[in-house]
Structure 1
């Protein structure tokens, strides 16, 4: 039996939340670099690589789109007062740049698409929007007709903006 869509959330760890001055999971405001290096990134690397390898070994990776995303990135400035100050190694929320990870389902592997300015604060080239990611994922799932019909019979677009990112497919 196929499962068309699965969402996985990172489980909160209350001991780690206290250590990282965190509101939960990846929301690290203080002790950012230590928490990432010693806790969050090694665990993510282990889990993510195991998922990709398992899907590949089972012959399911080509039919499965894996997307790792967040609603925001981290502010380029370290030591923001709201994130533990200069000694807290914190980085506050930042919506101008973030990283998405895509694999499987027709996504080209081993590439990076787009870049930021030298501080990682703003896109420098190949700007991608959340709508672009959404349309690309739908395209990889074989869903290119993103229209619906309302009760009056009028057709409308489910996603008004965005484009499929052909360069990564």
Structure 2
């Protein structure tokens, strides 16, 4: 696994090894991240990454949020309660030297603390098929994490409907992964 674009392009991230089967730890593949960021930065959405405040729910290794930092995001809050994921995330933050631009919440994405300020970009990559994505978005919205007009990128096994308070922008398929793009508001 590596960073595919921006200031840290080509930098390797910590090896996942056997991962965490119980937590369904499965990092977003390099080619999917590259396609996803090409979609985000292709002009249709302006530049939602530059100077963004990002929330990475079910962060795992942190690859999505770290990719956003590499491409100009100002700050990323990572949320994951998995022990192995937390170790990999800490290692990746150290490898890239971005500790001053991140916050790690060792918490469930379903039970977030109240946000100090809302974010404008959300990555949501829950364990597939367990119905956790909508619950996490609802929690994040209720706790003030998701600002009006925030862009949400939701990875899941199939296309997802827009929860209340969100507008569906589109679905993109990448093999068995479907990315649902939503706009808060």
Larger Rg: 1
* TM-score interval for Structure 1 and Structure 2 normalised by the shorter chain: under 0.3
More strand, by proportion: 2
More helix, by proportion: 1
For normalisation by structure 1, the TM-score amounts to 0.27
For normalisation by structure 2, the TM-score amounts to 0.25
